Amino acid sequence: MSKINNTSELEVEACGEMMTIHSNEVEVDVIDLRVVKTVCPLTFAGGTIQFCTEITNPSDYPISPAVFRDVLDPRLTYIQGTFLVNGEPRTPTVTNNKLEYVIPVIEPHSTVLICFKVRVQQDTGDGTDPDDETDPDEIDPDDGTDE
């Protein structure tokens, strides 16, 4: 954590003379939250991935509230019931491909660990990409021959 100090001053003219009036000095603590996300970097279609995010508050002050958000790739599906906060089951709000969870408080000098699992969408098995929005009726059925 670092600190910022600041003062103000006012310059005025009084009886033909310039005067400078200084304010009191204020000090602000700058909270340096740290957020680190981890994952196993290899999976397969239809497989499961566990994401973990560690949020550390190294300051002397509680952070309240803190909103955790995770935007998932469209090819990932959140697996209900896998969301854990410090090992305890919690229920995030899931809207489209975004997870959101309100952390009531992150205590001073503490860490919150959030983990959850997603499933990778599986290939359709017919050689097409399930995320491809091309209309199959618009595909040229050319079989590669010169006829």
Q: What is the CATH number of the domain that holds 57?
A: 2.60.40.740
The CA radius of gyration of the chain, in Å to the nearest whole number, is 27
Q: Which range of residues forms the domain containing residue 58?
A: 33-120
106 and 62 in contact (C-beta within 8 Å)?
yes
Residue 111 pLDDT grade (very low, low, confident, very high; cuts 50, 70, 90): very high
Amino acid found at 99: L
How much is the pLDDT for 138?
45
Write the CB contacts of 100 (distance below 8 Å, at least 6 apart in sequence). Answer: 67, 68, 69, 92, 93, 94
- The answer to the question of residue 18 being in a domain is no
Quote the number of domains for the chain: 1
58 and 1 in contact (C-beta within 8 Å)?
yes
- The answer to the question of residue 99 being in a domain is yes
115 and 68 in contact (C-beta within 8 Å)?
no
- Over residues 64-91, the pLDDT tens digits come to 999 999 999 999 999 999 999 999 999 9
- The answer to the question of residue 101 being in a domain is yes
Write the CB contacts of 53 (distance below 8 Å, at least 6 apart in sequence). Answer: 35, 36, 37, 38, 68, 70, 113, 114, 115
- The answer to the question of residue 105 being in a domain is yes
pTM metric for this prediction: 0.69
How much is the pLDDT for 141?
46
Write the CB contacts of 126 (distance below 8 Å, at least 6 apart in sequence). Answer: none
Greater pLDDT, 1 or 81: 81
DSSP-assigned letter for residue 92 = -
**Which residue bears the tokens 């399930």?**
130
Average pLDDT, the chain: 83
- The answer to the question of residue 96 being in a domain is yes
- The answer to the question of residue 3 being in a domain is no
Share of the chain above pLDDT 70, in %: 82
- The answer to the question of residue 134 being in a domain is no
Whether the pLDDT of residue 41 is over 80: the answer is no
How much is the pLDDT for 72?
94
131: left (phi over 0), alpha (psi -120 to 50) or beta: alpha
Mean pLDDT for 8-28 is 85
Range in 13-27, 43-57, 122-136 the model is least confident about:
122-136
How much is the pLDDT for 140?
45
